[in-house]
Amino acid sequence: MTKIQRQHRITELIDHDVISTAAQIVARLREEGIAATQATVTRDLQELGTVKVRDEHGARRIVLVASPKLAPAPLDHLRRMMGEWVVSVESSANLVVVRTPPGCAHVVASALDRSALSGVLGSVAGDDTILVIAAEAHGGAKLAFEFRTLAGISDLIERQVKG
């Protein structure tokens, strides 16, 4: 199981069950045949942007932060996601189109949304394409350049691929 798959499963666990410790997640993953140490799960929880809160019944639980303004994901996380999954980036006016392999767009869009990157108003992900809306003052071309840089895709390489 890859890190991304493990983190996705952790997200599902904390969304559907009351879980208050990393040790509980380790135990649940072990029940499913997934090996992970408590240190690994703790790092995953930090990267996912989780916090501990009291729910409406008074139980402490781990949850994903709903607002990227409260706990933005580290830029390194976005860089890793884009470096691993982004294959091309194009822009038009204040729109940026990011392409990924099939089934991967939501992973990159989630990292993008949680990054609180300046100039990004929001994103919409399909199966292999993400539409990112850039702030008017920032512009799509500048944002596309930033995305290419984060993904390690130079303009020259992208032109050769299209070419």
Query: What's the confidence (pLDDT) of residue 78?
Result: 87
Q: In the CATH hierarchy, which fold is given to the domain comprising 75-162?
A: Gyrase A; domain 2 (3.30.1360)
Q: In the CATH hierarchy, which fold is given to the domain comprising 3-64?
A: Arc Repressor Mutant, subunit A (1.10.10)
Query: What's the confidence (pLDDT) of residue 68?
Result: 40
| Phi (first) and psi of residue 61, to 5 degrees | -150, 155
* Alpha carbon distance 124, 129 (integer Å): 8
Return residue ranges of the chain for CATH 3.30.1360.40.
75-162
Q: The tokens of 108 are what? A: 């990159």
Query: For 120-157, how does the pLDDT look when each residue is reduced to its tens digit (9 = 90+)?
Result: 988 999 999 999 999 999 999 999 999 999 999 975 44
pLDDT of 3 strictly over 80:
yes
Q: Which amino acid is at 2?
A: T
Q: Please check whether residue 86 is in contact with residue 101, taking contact to mean a CB–CB distance below 8 angstroms.
A: no
DSSP letters, 126-150, are -SSEEEEEEPTTT-HHHHHHHHHHH
Query: What's the confidence (pLDDT) of residue 58?
Result: 79
Return residue ranges of the chain for CATH 1.10.10.10.
3-64
Query: What's the confidence (pLDDT) of residue 67?
Result: 37
The least confident of 15-29, 84-98, 107-121, 147-161 is 147-161
Is the four-CA dihedral 61, 12, 44, 75 of positive or negative sign? negative
